[in-house]
Structure 1
Amino acid sequence: MTGDQYLTGLTLYFIGYVLFEIPCNIILKRTTPRLWLPTITLFWGIVATLLGVVQNYAGYLTSRFFLGVTESGLFPGVVFYLSMWYKRNEQHYRISLFFSAASLAGAFGGILAWGIGHMKGVGGYNGWRWIFILEGLLTVVVSVLAYFFVHNYPSTAEFLTEEEREYIQFRLKYDNDATRDESFTWAAVLTAFKDPKVWLYGLGFHTVSLPLYTLSLFLPSIISGLGYSNASAQLLTVPPYAVAFILVVVVAVYSEKTHLRAPFIMGSSALGIIGYIILLSTHSSGSSYVGTIFAAAGIYPSTAIVLSWPANNVSGQTKRAVANAMQISIGNLGAVMGTQLYRSEWSPRYFVGHSLALAYLAANIAVTGTLWLVLSRENEKKAEIRRTQNIASLEEVGAADGEFLGDDDPRWVFQT
C-alpha cells in the first residue's frame, strides 16, 4: 500500500466509529450490559483477527470500517455502565482507571508489536498479520469470559449479598438517578440532542481527540522520523505511554478529591501544548522525543476527565446514555480529520499535524473554560431557586418522590 491508502483505512475506521456510537448506546439501554458489552467485544475481536488475513485492498478497507463499527459501543457503553454503579464524584476516578488502560495498552502495544513482528515467516505470514491475529484472538477469549463476569446493575447483580445490594442502593439513592425506575423513551433521546451543554461536552472531547488519536496512531512514525529504526521506535513508544498512565491516575485522584474537573482539564491540555511546542521548535532528536512525552502526559489525563464529565453531570438515564455516545461521536470527528495530518511526505517534522494538534489543545482550554462558566452560572440559578422556593437539598434528589426533571431539576448540582 501507499501511505495515502493506509490513511484511507484509518479514516474509514473512525467513520464507522462515529456513525454507530449513538445506536450502540441506545441498544445498551434497551438490552442489558451483560449481553451487549461482551457481544460487541466479541465482534471486535473477530474483525481484528480477520484483519490479519486480508488479501487485498478492498478487504483491508472493509475490515477497517467494521473494526470501527464494532468498537464504537464499548467506551460510551462502559462510561454509562459505571455511572449506574458509583456515586457521581466516584465515577471520574473509575472512568479514568478504565481509560488509563488505553495508555497502558499503548505501552505494552509497542513491546508486543516489536516482539510479534519477529514472527515474520511463521505459517507463511508476515509479522504485522500476527499482531492482528494474536491480539484479536486474545480479545475473543476475554469477551467470552466477560459473559460470566459482567453483571447488569446493582439491583440484580448475583455476586452481591442482599445487605450489600441495599447498601449500594442506599448510597446511589441519595446521590444520583441510578436507582430511579426509568424506561427508555425517544423523547429522552431528543432531550440530549437539544441540550447545548451536551454539545459542549462533545466539543470538549473533539478538541482533544485529534491530538489523542494522531499521537496514538502515528507515535511510532514520529519517533522513527527522529532517526530511530522502526524496531527501536516501537520500543521507544513505551515511556510516553507509561508516563501518561501514571498521570492519568494521579490527576484523577486529585480531581476527585477537589471535586473539580475544568481546572485539571485545562492544566493537562497546557502540558500537552508544551510538548507540541518542543516538537515544532527543536531539531534535536532527543529534545523532540521529550516533546512526545510531554504531549502524551498532557493529552491522556485531559481526555480521561473530559470523557467522565457528562457521566457526572447528565441526568436522566437515557439522556446520559445518549449524551455519552454523542460526546464520543462528535469528538471522533476530530479523529477522522486527524488521520490525514501525518502524511509520509511531511516526515520527519510533521509541521501540519503538530501545529493542528497544538491549536486543538488551545481550543480545548477555551471550550472547557466556556463550559465551566455555563455550569457555574446554572448552579447559581438553581441555588437561588432552592433558596426562594424552599426546595429539598441535593442529597435527596435520588430519593425524591414525584416528578424529577433530570439535570434541569433545581436539586441537581453540576460538577465543575
Structure 2
Amino acid sequence: MEVTSSSSILRKNDYKIETEPIDSFNPIDQAAEKRLVHKFDWRLMPMFATMYFFSSLDRSNIGNAKVAGMTADLGISDVQYSNVVSVLYATYLPVMLPGVWFMKRCKKPRYYMAGMMFCWSLCSLFTLFAKSYGSLIALRLLIGLFEGSYFSCIAVITTDYYLPVELGRRTAYFFASSSLASAFGGLIATGITKITSGNLKSWQYIFLIEGILSCIAVAWLFFGLPDSPDQLIKTDEEREVYKDRERRRILYTDTNGFEFKEVLAACTDYKTSFSVVIQFTQDICLYGFSTFLPIILKSGLKFNSLQAQYLSVPVYLLAGIIFLIAAEISDRKKIRGPIIAFTNIFGITGYILLLAVKNNAVKYFACYLICFSIYTGTGINESWLASNTSPRFKRYTAIGLNQTLGNVSGAISPQVYRKSPDYVLGHAFTLGCLIVSSICSLICSWLLHKRNLHNEKVMETGVDDRNRKRDYGDDSPEFRFII
C-alpha cells in the first residue's frame, strides 16, 4: 500500500485527517501557548484535584475509622471489615465505562459530574449513622455506584484540553491530591482520636466532617467546570493558539460521534491489554497500602492508635512528591514504561523488607520505599494509555476499560490483607504484582518503540506493509507513540 506525503489528506471510513506527525509542528507562538495552557491548568487542575481529593478521602476513610474504633463499636470482625472494603467495587466497577459514555453525551458535563459527587458525598456523610454490618455494606455499595466513573470522566475531559505529551503532569496533580487525601485523612483522624465530648463516637466524626466538606465542594464543580475548551477561549490570540494546538492534535482527535467499531478496536488493542494488567497490579499496591497502612502501623509495627494516624502522614506526602517528579520527567523525556519499572524497584525492595525483617524501624523505612510505587505506576500508566490511543471514542473506551478491569484490584486487595498483624499474604501478593507490572511495562515500551521505527520506515519508503485495516488515529503510520 502506498503512503502519501505528510501534507496529504487521508480519507478512511468517513474520517478526514490532515496527516502529519503529532510532534512535527512547532507552536506558532510558544509564549502564547504557554499562557493558554496555564489558563487551562488554573481553571481545571485545582478543581479536578480537589474533587479527586474528596473522592479518595470518602473512599479510604474507612481505614481511619477502623483505627478510631468503628469495628469495635459495631461488632464487626476482621473478615467482615475486609468485606465492607471490598463490596464498594461491586458497584464501582460496572459503572466506569458506561459513565464515561454517558458523560460525553451530556451537553453540559458539569450536571453529571456535580450530581455524581453530591450523591456519593451524602452517602459518606450518612455512614456516621451506620449501626450494623449490613448498613455499612449498603452505604459502601451506594458510594461505589455514584463514585465509580468519576476518575475516568476527569481523565477523559483532560484529554480534550491537553496534548498527549502534557498528560503525565496533569494526571500527577490528581494523584498528588489523592496522596494529600490519605495524609489529610490521617491528620483528621489524629485530631478526632482526642475528641471526647458530644454524642458521637470518634469514628463518626470522621464521616461527619469529611462528608460535609465534600458536599460543600460540589458547588465549585457545578459552577466551575466548562462545557468545552471553547468556553475558555476569549481573545483572538487564544483562538489562534488553540486552533494551532488542535491542528497538531489532529491524529489524536476526530469529529465523529460514537461508533461501536471504536469500542471493538479499544478492546482488541494490545496497548489496552497491557494497560489493564499494569493498572490491576499497581492498584493492588495502591489500594492495599492506602487502606491498610494505619492498621499495619498499629497492629504490625506496634504503634498506638494516635501514632499510627500521624506516622502515615509523611509517607503519603512523600508519595505525592515522588509522583510529581516522576510525571514531570516522564513528560519531558516522553517515556512512560521505563519510569514505571524503575520506581517499582523501590517498591519491590520495600515489600521484601516488610516480609523479611522483624525490626519495626526498618519496616517503617520500607513504607517510604513503597512510596515510589503506590501512585507513580498507577498514574503514569493511565496517562500512557490516554496518550497513545486514538481516535476519540477508542480512547474513551480504552480509558474506561482500563479503569474498570484494573480496579477489580480494589475488591481483591482487602481479601489478601486479612490476616493481621503481619499481613504476609498481602505483602507477598503485592510484591508479585509489582514484578509483573514492571515486566509488562518494559515489554509494552519495547513493542511501541518497534512500532515507531516501523512507522518511520513506512513514511520514508512510502510503502505500507503493516497489514493494518485502517490508517487513521493510532493506526496511522504518522502517529508517534510515547514509550
Normalised TM-score (structure 2): 0.79
3-state secondary structure, aligned to 1:118: coil
Offset of residue 83 of structure 1 = 0.8
- Matched residue, 1:148: 223
1:180 Cα deviation (Å)? Answer: 3.3
2:311 counterpart residue number? 236
Partner of 2:282: 208
Report the CA distance between 1:94 and its aligned residue. 0.8
CA distance in 2, matches of 1:178, 1:44: 33
Q: For 1:160 and 1:230, how far apart are their aligned partners in 2?
A: 53
Amino acid at match of 2:146: T
Task: Report the secondary structure of 2:94's partner residue.
Answer: helix
Deviation at 1:265, TM superposition (A): 0.5
Q: How far, CA to CA, are the matches of 1:144 and 1:313 in structure 2? A: 34
CA contact (8 A) 2:233 2:239 kept: no
- Alignment partner for residue 161 of structure 2, among 72, 85, 91? 85
The 1-side partners of 2:216 and 2:252 are apart by: 31
Answer yes or no: is the 8 Å Cα contact 2:152–2:399 preserved in 1: yes
CA 1:178–1:116: 2 relative to 1, 3 Å: farther
Residue of structure 2 aligned with 1:195, choices 245, 269, 293: 269
Establish whether residue 260 from structure 1 lines up as the match of residue 335 from structure 2.
yes
Offset, 1:365: 0.7
Are 1:35 and 2:102 matched, yes or no?
Answer: no
Which residue does the alignment assign to 2:371?
Answer: 296
In 1: Cα distance, 2:454 partner to 2:232 partner: 42
- Tell me by how many angstroms 1:177 deviates: 4.9
| Residue of structure 1 equivalent to 2:441 | 368
Distance 1:304 1:179 in 2: 22
Alignment partners' CA distance in 2, 1:176 and 1:250: 29
- Whole-Å separation in 1 of the counterparts to 2:329 and 2:250: 22
Q: 1:356 aligns with which of 429, 438, 463?
A: 429
Query: Of 402, 414, 418, which aligns to 1:327?
Result: 402
Partner SS for 2:194: helix
| Secondary structure in 2 matching 1:209 | helix
User: In terms of mean alpha carbon deviation, does 354-363 or 185-194 score higher?
Assistant: 185-194
The match for 1:318 is 393
Q: Which string of whole-angstrom CA distances, capped at 9 and with x for unpartnered residues, describes residues 116-135 of structure 1?
A: 3334552x221212211221
- Runs (5+) with no aligned partner, structure 1: 392-402
The reply on whether 1:387 has 2:460 as its aligned counterpart is yes
2:170 aligned with 1:97 = no
Q: Map residues 30-179 of structure 1 onto 2, 5 A cutoff.
A: 30-31=105-106, 32-122=108-198, 124-155=199-230, 157-158=231-232, 160-177=234-251
Shift of 1:390: 8.0
Q: How far apart are residue 169 of structure 1 and its match? A: 3.1
For residues 325-360 of structure 1, the C-alpha deviation after alignment (integer angstroms, 9 at most, x for no partner) is 1111111112211111222xx322211111111110
Q: 1:84 to 1:178 in 2, by over 3 A?
A: farther
The corresponding residue for 1:407 is 474
Return closer, same or farther for 1:113/1:161 CA change in 2, 3 Å cut-off: farther
Letter of the 1:80 partner, please give it: V
Equivalent pair of 2:326/2:376 in contact (CA under 8 Å)? yes
Tell me how far 1:56 sits from its aligned partner: 2.5
Q: Which amino acid aligns with 1:21?
A: M
Q: Report the Cα offset of residue 381 of structure 1.
A: 2.3
Percent identity reads 28
Cα distance 1:120–1:342, how it changes in 2: closer, same or farther (>3 A)? farther
What is the distance in 2 between the residues matched to 1:407 and 1:133?
47
SS at match of 2:229: coil
Is the alpha carbon distance of 1:160 and 1:369 closer, same or farther for their aligned partners in structure 2, counting shifts above 3 Å?
A: same
Cα deviation code 1:301-346 (max 9, x no counterpart): 2222111111111111111111111111111112211111222xx3
Contact 2:125 2:212 in 1 (8 A): yes
Kindly indicate whether the alpha-carbon contact (under 8 Å) linking 1:51 and 1:132 is maintained by their aligned counterparts in 2: yes
**2:334 matches 1:278:** no
User: Could you say which residue in structure 1 is the equivalent of 2:33?
Assistant: none
CA gap 1:174/1:136 in 2 versus in 1, 3 angstroms: same
- Count residues in correspondence: 401
On the 8 A contact 1:110/1:234 being kept in 2, the answer is: yes
Distance 1:179 1:196, change over 3 A: closer
Which structure 2 segments of 5+ residues have no match?
1-75, 465-469
**Given the two structures, how large is their TM-score scaled by the length of structure 1?**
0.92
Cα deviations across residues 68-93 of structure 1 (Å, max 9, x unaligned)?
12221111111111111011101111
Range that drifts further, 264-273 or 370-379: 370-379
Q: What is the match of residue 23 of structure 2?
A: none
| Displacement after TM superposition at 1:194 (Å) | 2.1
Match of 1:220 among 264, 276, 294: 294
What is the distance in 2 between the residues matched to 1:206 and 1:236? 27
Q: 1:235 to 1:281 in 2, by over 3 A?
A: same
Letter in 1 for 2:460: R
Match of 1:340, SS state, is helix
SS in 1 for 2:79: helix
- CA apart distance, 1:178: 6.1
Matches within 5 A, 1:333-348: 333-343=408-418, 346-348=419-421
After superposition, the CA RMSD in angstroms is 1.8
Deviation at 1:176, TM superposition (A): 4.5
In 1, the alpha carbon distance for the partners of 2:104 and 2:448 equals 26
Out of 96-105 and 284-293, give the one that drifted further: 96-105
- Report what 2:63 is aligned to: none
**Kindly tell me: are residues 73 and 297 of structure 1, through their superposed partners in 2, closer, same or farther at Cα, counting changes over 3 Å?**
same
Q: 1:290 to 1:190 in 2, by over 3 A?
A: same
